[in-house]
Structure 1
Amino acid sequence: MMSMSSSPPAAAAGAVQTDAEGLILPKKLINPCIESIDRKELHRELKFNARIGKSVLNQKSELERAYEKQKERHAAAEQQQHSPETDLGELGRVIMERAQKHEAAAQKQDADDADERQYVNPEYLNVRAKLRTAHAPN
């Protein structure tokens, strides 16, 4: 039978390679999974994380998970225990006072507007309605 040479002759990258008898030499097929850019980046990241000792698969023991959950609950309870007024400094206290004054002034203004609306003379409203109907374009 025909024998292929162990090393094909050097040829251009896009050219077809042939053996001594003129037969076309098979090329190695490209594996799209291995040549994928996403796969290469993932593999590089996994190698880096393994080198620095980071667990990417979240492989923690049940005890470690329970301990972390307990720490989170403790931190949340401690944060809830501290009220905002106790953590504020002098500036925070002044800001809170000004906000309360501003809120009180806005409520007083709303109350004054409501009082003014109550004391509208009904006779004035009747006369105004008659004038509107008299001057309305027909």
Structure 2
Amino acid sequence: MVVYGSEDKLNFQINMEENTKRPQFDENGLILPRRAMLPNFDTRRDLHRELMFNCKTGKSLLSEKSELSRALEKHKVNQTRKMVEEEKISSRSEIERALEERAKKLEELEKSNERNCEATTVCNPEFVRLHAKMKNRIQASN
């Protein structure tokens, strides 16, 4: 069985090795130009090995979704979720809406009462100390 192209690759590799070992000179003593080494040769070989391994194991890399398709799918899921929430809100009865409004009003009243209580009970400690001193002086003078 003859594999075409394998001899070319082998010759190419041998030539690459010879070129990297020693420079070649012409009759004037100048260094002859040589072919540049392909930096992607090893990475291409590694990629081919990985593809062959995945082919043998049955894993298909092409069936994976791209980042764009995953983002679009996520966006669609979010849109459908929002639509369902809006339908729930719009399908509520009048009683449920009235109860929610009352609950909001009660929460607002509780918050305003808490703010009022905090405003009256929070005192400046320096003011309290000076007030106590003045009170003691007035009582002592009487």
Normalized against structure 1, the TM-score is what?
0.31
Normalized against structure 2, the TM-score is what?
0.30
